[in-house]
Structure 1
Amino acid sequence: MTRTRRFSPQAEAVLRALAADPSEWRYGYELGREVDLKAGSLYPILMRLADRGLLESSWEEAPVAGRPPRHLYRLTGAGLAVAAEVAAKAAARSAAEQDRPGTQGSLRGAW
């Protein structure tokens, strides 16, 4: 039996950022700035996602002179499907929290 673990909030943020434009190759540094993760957290997430077949990676073809080539990342077809599933689950969790009595989004708790 295969056990799938839930993605961390940080991994979900990376998936969402990559899913915003799935055909676009993204640099790790750019992703880290967008999702507010330092390299020590971001790159292990990227490696795990790639190991699961959710990301493809490539080296920059024409690096700027004086700078080493950078790694690029984008979602695979499977990664895009997982990102959509993660987004749907997050939306369902958010809706459930808003509907809970005593929360701001609930009419039942507002009266």
Structure 2
Amino acid sequence: MRKYVLAGFVALGALTMNAQDVMNKSITVEKGDVIEIGYPSTSKYKHIKFPRANFIIKRGGIANYKAALGEEVVVTNVKTKNDGSTMVTVKRKDGKRFFNTVSTVFINFEDALATKEIKL
């Protein structure tokens, strides 16, 4: 009976180690990489820091978040925060402004990639 229990623990330990190795593989992003904006995880983008609609309207822009869908952006700055997350600054590839008001936007890279708000 002891042999079966010991074999079970060894099998579970081996499966756990393999699962952790898969989770630790991270994707790195560098300055100049091109990223595509995907669908929001909720009704608004949660991990892409677009300005709120009232600020866009006050500056004379059009607050249409669907216009950003499928837009290609270029990474201009990569910064690692103290908690280990990566904050990325991006601008549009065609040089225009987001919503005719904002030139750069911040993205929480790992969370946005996990929720498919951005695509590589």
TM exceeding 0.5: no
Structure with the larger helix share: 1
Structure with the larger strand share: 2
Q: Greater relative contact order: 1 or 2 (C-alpha under 8 angstroms, separation 6 or more)?
A: 2
TM-score, normalized by length of structure 1? Answer: 0.23
TM-score, normalized by length of structure 2? Answer: 0.21
Greater Rg, structure 1 or structure 2?
2
